[in-house]
Amino acid sequence: MVVRSLQIAILSLFLAATQNCLADSSVRYLSFAVGRHSILDHDIEDPGVLKIEYRFRPRWKWLLTPAVGAARSQDGASFVFADLKKDFFPGDHWVITPSFGLGSFTHGEDVKLGDSLEFRSGIEFAYQFKNDWRLGIQLFHLSNSGIGDTNPGIEVMFVSLSLPL
Protein backbone atom coordinates (compact mmCIF):
# COMPACT_ATOMS: atom_id res chain seq x y z
CA MET A 1 0.00 0.00 0.00
CA VAL A 2 2.81 2.43 0.91
CA VAL A 3 4.73 1.48 -2.24
CA ARG A 4 1.68 2.06 -4.45
CA SER A 5 1.10 5.44 -2.78
CA LEU A 6 4.74 6.39 -3.38
CA GLN A 7 4.47 5.37 -7.05
CA ILE A 8 1.28 7.43 -7.50
CA ALA A 9 2.90 10.43 -5.80
CA ILE A 10 5.96 10.18 -8.06
CA LEU A 11 3.80 9.94 -11.18
CA SER A 12 1.67 12.89 -10.05
CA LEU A 13 4.76 14.98 -9.42
CA PHE A 14 6.10 13.98 -12.84
CA LEU A 15 2.94 15.21 -14.54
CA ALA A 16 2.63 18.38 -12.48
CA ALA A 17 6.29 19.26 -12.82
CA THR A 18 6.32 19.07 -16.61
CA GLN A 19 4.33 22.29 -16.98
CA ASN A 20 6.88 24.92 -18.13
CA CYS A 21 9.66 23.82 -15.83
CA LEU A 22 12.08 21.83 -17.98
CA ALA A 23 15.62 23.16 -18.10
CA ASP A 24 18.63 22.13 -20.13
CA SER A 25 21.27 21.62 -17.47
CA SER A 26 24.60 20.35 -18.72
CA VAL A 27 26.15 20.07 -15.25
CA ARG A 28 27.66 16.83 -13.92
CA TYR A 29 27.38 16.21 -10.19
CA LEU A 30 29.11 14.30 -7.44
CA SER A 31 26.56 13.66 -4.72
CA PHE A 32 27.19 12.68 -1.10
CA ALA A 33 24.34 11.57 1.14
CA VAL A 34 23.70 10.36 4.64
CA GLY A 35 20.46 8.74 5.67
CA ARG A 36 18.46 5.92 7.17
CA HIS A 37 17.08 2.72 5.70
CA SER A 38 13.98 0.94 6.94
CA ILE A 39 12.27 4.27 7.64
CA LEU A 40 8.93 2.45 7.91
CA ASP A 41 10.34 -0.41 10.02
CA HIS A 42 11.41 0.76 13.47
CA ASP A 43 12.77 -2.64 14.60
CA ILE A 44 16.18 -2.12 12.95
CA GLU A 45 18.89 -1.09 15.45
CA ASP A 46 21.46 0.66 13.21
CA PRO A 47 19.70 1.98 10.12
CA GLY A 48 22.38 4.51 9.11
CA VAL A 49 23.44 4.63 5.43
CA LEU A 50 26.12 6.51 3.49
CA LYS A 51 25.87 7.01 -0.29
CA ILE A 52 28.03 8.45 -3.05
CA GLU A 53 26.78 9.00 -6.58
CA TYR A 54 28.14 10.37 -9.86
CA ARG A 55 25.62 12.03 -12.17
CA PHE A 56 26.58 12.35 -15.81
CA ARG A 57 25.40 15.20 -18.02
CA PRO A 58 21.77 14.91 -19.21
CA ARG A 59 21.50 13.00 -22.49
CA TRP A 60 19.13 12.06 -25.26
CA LYS A 61 15.98 13.74 -26.43
CA TRP A 62 14.37 13.77 -22.97
CA LEU A 63 17.50 15.00 -21.15
CA LEU A 64 17.69 11.94 -18.91
CA THR A 65 20.62 11.90 -16.52
CA PRO A 66 22.47 8.59 -16.14
CA ALA A 67 23.98 8.02 -12.71
CA VAL A 68 26.06 5.39 -10.92
CA GLY A 69 26.64 5.04 -7.22
CA ALA A 70 27.09 2.95 -4.13
CA ALA A 71 25.56 2.89 -0.66
CA ARG A 72 26.55 1.07 2.50
CA SER A 73 24.64 0.69 5.75
CA GLN A 74 25.90 0.34 9.30
CA ASP A 75 24.76 -3.30 9.37
CA GLY A 76 26.96 -4.19 6.38
CA ALA A 77 24.33 -4.13 3.62
CA SER A 78 25.53 -2.53 0.38
CA PHE A 79 24.00 -1.52 -2.92
CA VAL A 80 25.87 -0.65 -6.13
CA PHE A 81 23.53 0.84 -8.71
CA ALA A 82 22.94 2.57 -12.03
CA ASP A 83 19.86 4.64 -12.75
CA LEU A 84 18.27 7.33 -14.88
CA LYS A 85 17.08 10.65 -13.48
CA LYS A 86 15.10 13.59 -14.82
CA ASP A 87 15.39 17.10 -13.39
CA PHE A 88 12.32 19.34 -13.27
CA PHE A 89 12.55 22.98 -12.15
CA PRO A 90 9.15 24.13 -10.81
CA GLY A 91 10.63 27.31 -9.28
CA ASP A 92 13.68 29.53 -9.52
CA HIS A 93 15.93 27.33 -7.39
CA TRP A 94 13.84 24.22 -6.69
CA VAL A 95 14.54 20.90 -8.39
CA ILE A 96 12.39 17.76 -8.38
CA THR A 97 14.24 14.68 -9.63
CA PRO A 98 12.44 11.33 -10.04
CA SER A 99 14.65 8.32 -10.79
CA PHE A 100 14.54 4.63 -11.59
CA GLY A 101 17.37 2.10 -11.74
CA LEU A 102 18.73 -1.25 -10.69
CA GLY A 103 21.72 -2.63 -8.93
CA SER A 104 23.46 -5.35 -7.01
CA PHE A 105 22.48 -5.72 -3.37
CA THR A 106 24.55 -7.46 -0.67
CA HIS A 107 22.62 -8.45 2.47
CA GLY A 108 23.53 -7.04 5.85
CA GLU A 109 22.87 -8.33 9.37
CA ASP A 110 19.36 -6.86 9.52
CA VAL A 111 18.50 -6.03 5.91
CA LYS A 112 17.76 -8.96 3.62
CA LEU A 113 15.87 -8.13 0.44
CA GLY A 114 15.44 -11.59 -1.08
CA ASP A 115 17.72 -11.29 -4.13
CA SER A 116 20.99 -9.72 -5.23
CA LEU A 117 19.24 -7.90 -8.13
CA GLU A 118 17.18 -5.02 -6.75
CA PHE A 119 15.29 -2.19 -8.44
CA ARG A 120 15.35 1.33 -7.07
CA SER A 121 12.72 4.01 -7.61
CA GLY A 122 12.78 7.36 -5.94
CA ILE A 123 12.44 11.09 -5.89
CA GLU A 124 14.62 13.97 -4.75
CA PHE A 125 13.49 17.43 -3.67
CA ALA A 126 16.42 19.84 -3.75
CA TYR A 127 17.32 23.50 -3.55
CA GLN A 128 19.86 24.56 -6.18
CA PHE A 129 22.09 27.46 -5.16
CA LYS A 130 23.40 30.05 -7.63
CA ASN A 131 26.72 28.18 -7.85
CA ASP A 132 24.77 24.99 -8.88
CA TRP A 133 25.34 23.21 -5.55
CA ARG A 134 22.25 21.27 -4.48
CA LEU A 135 20.98 20.41 -1.01
CA GLY A 136 18.18 17.89 -1.03
CA ILE A 137 16.02 15.22 0.54
CA GLN A 138 15.86 11.87 -1.28
CA LEU A 139 13.31 9.07 -0.81
CA PHE A 140 13.84 5.63 -2.37
CA HIS A 141 12.16 2.26 -2.47
CA LEU A 142 14.31 -0.85 -3.09
CA SER A 143 12.62 -4.04 -4.23
CA ASN A 144 13.34 -7.10 -6.36
CA SER A 145 9.86 -6.79 -7.94
CA GLY A 146 9.02 -10.36 -7.06
CA ILE A 147 11.87 -12.05 -8.96
CA GLY A 148 13.38 -13.37 -5.71
CA ASP A 149 12.02 -15.99 -3.33
CA THR A 150 10.94 -13.17 -1.01
CA ASN A 151 10.35 -9.48 -1.75
CA PRO A 152 10.27 -7.51 1.50
CA GLY A 153 11.38 -4.21 -0.05
CA ILE A 154 12.78 -1.30 1.93
CA GLU A 155 12.40 2.47 2.06
CA VAL A 156 15.43 4.75 2.42
CA MET A 157 15.65 8.48 3.11
CA PHE A 158 18.75 10.64 2.59
CA VAL A 159 19.90 14.21 3.02
CA SER A 160 22.17 14.93 0.07
CA LEU A 161 24.73 17.50 -1.04
CA SER A 162 25.46 17.51 -4.76
CA LEU A 163 28.54 19.33 -6.02
CA PRO A 164 28.84 20.44 -9.65
CA LEU A 165 31.91 19.20 -11.53
User: For 126-143, how does the pLDDT look when each residue is reduced to its tens digit (9 = 90+)?
Assistant: 999 999 999 999 999 999
Q: Which residue has the higher pLDDT, 151 or 162?
A: 162
Domain layout of the chain by residue ranges:
2-164
pLDDT of res. 29:
97
pTM over 0.75: yes
Residue 20 scores a pLDDT above 50: no
d(CA 101, CA 121): 7
- DSSP states of 74-121: TTS-EEEEEEEE--B-SSSSEEEEEEEEEEEEE--SS---SSSEEEEE
Q: What is the pLDDT of residues 25-56, one digit of tens each?
A: 689 999 999 999 887 776 666 678 999 999 99
Check if CATH label 3.40.50.10190 holds for domain 2-164: no
- The stretch 154-158 carries a mean pLDDT of 92
